[in-house]
């Protein structure tokens, strides 16, 4: 068939794919590229695209080529039925970038379950649950114990990136998947929890700094724990008022900060640094943050939970801190290989599953490359990094 010959797509499928993407028609047309009038003609069955144009549509909309020829659109649950409520995201009005990130993470989870079934493995159930009525300290103690990551091991981490890797490894042993997503603005989503079972998912924005990722990870794990106790529902089903939801968010923030910095460890480090009484200026909070390999913001939240700062003091400090940070130049990371990016994006459990399925001849090398979004010539390095425990790179 000539590349210029048209192909008979089903217009309702194109309409569905465009609507699901969240992109305006103008942006889709530009990606092909064709005039918006031509795209509308395809949608109205007045014209048909060429094979090459359908390929470009499939690539841009992140859909299989074959989907445009189905008799009717797939029946899928709304994305807002999958993730926990996000403070600045209205269900059903997610940005195209967030919608794509959510779909990719959901696909990886389904792939993981399929591969486990092929290999005869059983998912570890995520059994942790939490009630707000328990109090943040009680929940944090239980979460820290389940993670099995000691304070001594945390303080021994040489830098924030290694600390993040260790927290991620500990969380992935709880029966969940930790993925990273890119191209989503931080002010839309720093992290997200996909409320699925088995194997719920925590997604972390790659724009987060390494020292911020552990806090975001634990924050999302707390939301999974609340969902396990039926105290939280998917975004589309949440009926709490904004004030009530802020109480949930504050609870998750406190649990995350207390898990990162247990009470005894906090006071021991404060004594070593001579900061039992503060003052809580930028420099002193940064000293404390560097000790635990976390952000100053997470540290300030922890000081509030310990009764060493009030919420009004925190709010004033946070406003000044955000203004200060906005004046700083962007931080640049070191060189990252494609194999590092693959582990950072997919996590060690998912990456290991794909390589195990490949070794067992359950999938082809083409499948493995597609699942990991990594060219096959990088697989030897990938295996080496997993064996040496050098995965979970920050970049994607």
pLDDT per position as a tens digit, 271-317: 999 998 889 999 999 999 999 999 999 999 899 989 999 989 999 99
- For 371, the token pair is 């699942």
| Strand pairing report for 201-205 and 177-181 | parallel
Label residue 122 left, alpha or beta by phi (over 0 means left) and psi (-120 to 50 means alpha).
beta
What pLDDT is stored for residue 371 in this prediction?
96
Three-class DSSP labels, 155-199: HCCCCHHHHHHHHHHHHHCCCCEEEEECCCCCCCCCEEEECCCCC
Q: Please determine, for residue 395, whether its predicted confidence score (pLDDT) is greater than 60.
A: no
Does pLDDT of 11 surpass 80? yes
User: Cis omega (within 30 of 0) on the bond before 198?
Assistant: yes
Q: Is 55 left (phi over 0), alpha (psi -120 to 50) or beta?
A: alpha
The CA distance from 192 to 178, in Å, is: 10
What pLDDT shows up at residue 233?
96
As a whole number, mean pLDDT of residues 248-265 equals: 95
Q: What is the pLDDT of residue 388?
A: 73
**d(Cα 168, Cα 389) in Å, to the nearest integer?**
12
Mind listing the pLDDT tens digit for each residue in 73-95? 988 889 999 999 999 899 999 99
- SS3 call for 223: helix
According to the model, what pLDDT value does residue 386 have? 87
Question: Residue 325: what pLDDT?
Answer: 84
Of 325, 340, 320, the C-alpha closest to 393 is 340
Domain ranges of the chain: 11-69, 78-259, 261-327, 338-388
How much is the mean pLDDT over the chain? 93
Q: What is the mean pLDDT of residues 203-211?
A: 94
Distance CA 168, CA 214 (A): 7
Separation CA 342–CA 352 (nearest Å): 11
pLDDT per residue over 180-195, tens digit each?
A: 999 999 999 999 999 9
Q: Rounded to whole angstroms, how far apart are CA atoms 4 and 45?
A: 18
pLDDT at 1: 46
Model confidence at 5, pLDDT cuts 50, 70, 90, reads: confident
Q: Give percent of the chain above pLDDT 90.
A: 88
Q: What is the mean pLDDT of residues 377-394?
A: 78
Q: Indicate whether 330 pLDDT > 90.
A: no
User: What is the C-alpha separation between 148 and 90, in angstroms, rounded?
Assistant: 36
Quote the pLDDT of residue 390.
55
Cα(116)–Cα(110) distance, integer angstroms: 10
Instruction: Check whether 394 has a pLDDT greater than 70.
Output: no
Q: Sheet harboring 177-181: ordered strands across?
A: 177-181, 201-205, 191-194
Enter the tokens of residue 236: 């589309």
Confidence of residue 336 (pLDDT cuts 50, 70, 90): confident
* Architecture label for domain 11-69: Orthogonal Bundle (1.10)
């Amino acid at each position: 068939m000539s590349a210029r010959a048209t192909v008979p797509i089903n217009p309702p499928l194109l309409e569905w794919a465009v609507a699901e993407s969240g992109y305006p028609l103008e942006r889709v047309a530009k990606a092909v590229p064709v005039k918006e009038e031509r795209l509308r003609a395809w949608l109205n069955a007045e014209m048909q695209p060429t094979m090459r144009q359908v390929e470009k549509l499939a690539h841009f909309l992140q859909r299989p080529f074959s989907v445009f020829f189905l008799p009717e659109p797939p029946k899928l649950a709304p994305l807002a039925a999958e993730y926990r409520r996000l403070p600045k995201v209205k269900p059903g009005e997610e940005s195209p970038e967030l919608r794509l990130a959510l779909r990719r993470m959901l696909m990886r989870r389904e792939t993981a379950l399929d591969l486990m079934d092929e290999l005869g493995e059983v998912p570890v159930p995520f059994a942790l649950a939490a009630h707000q009525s328990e109090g943040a300290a009680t929940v944090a103690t239980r979460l820290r114990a389940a993670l099995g990551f000691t304070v001594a091991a945390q303080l021994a981490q040489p830098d924030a990136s290694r600390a993040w890797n260790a927290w991620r490894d500990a969380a992935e042993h709880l029966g969940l998947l930790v993925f990273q997503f890119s191209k989503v603005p931080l002010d839309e989503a720093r992290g997200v929890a996909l409320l699925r079972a088995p194997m719920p998912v925590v997604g972390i924005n790659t724009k987060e700094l390494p020292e911020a990722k552990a806090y975001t990870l634990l924050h999302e794990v707390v939301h999974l724990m609340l969902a396990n106790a039926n105290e939280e529902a998917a975004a589309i089903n949440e009926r709490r008022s904004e004030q009530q939801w802020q109480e949930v968010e504050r609870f998750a923030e406190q649990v995350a900060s207390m898990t990162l910095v247990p009470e005894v460890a906090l006071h021991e480090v404060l004594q070593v640094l001579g900061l039992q009484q503060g003052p809580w200026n930028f420099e002193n909070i940064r000293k404390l943050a560097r000790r635990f390999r976390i952000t100053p913001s997470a540290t300030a939240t922890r000081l509030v939970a310990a009764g060493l700062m009030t919420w009004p003091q925190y709010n004033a400090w946070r406003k000044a801190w955000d203004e200060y940070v906005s004046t700083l130049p962007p931080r640049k990371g070191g060189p990252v290989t494609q194999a590092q990016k693959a582990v950072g994006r997919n996590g060690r459990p998912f990456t290991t599953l794909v390589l195990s399925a490949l070794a067992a001849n359950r999938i082809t090398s083409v499948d493995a490359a597609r699942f990991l979004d990594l060219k096959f010539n990088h697989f030897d390095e990938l295996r080496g990094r997993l064996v040496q425990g050098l995965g979970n790179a920050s970049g994607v």
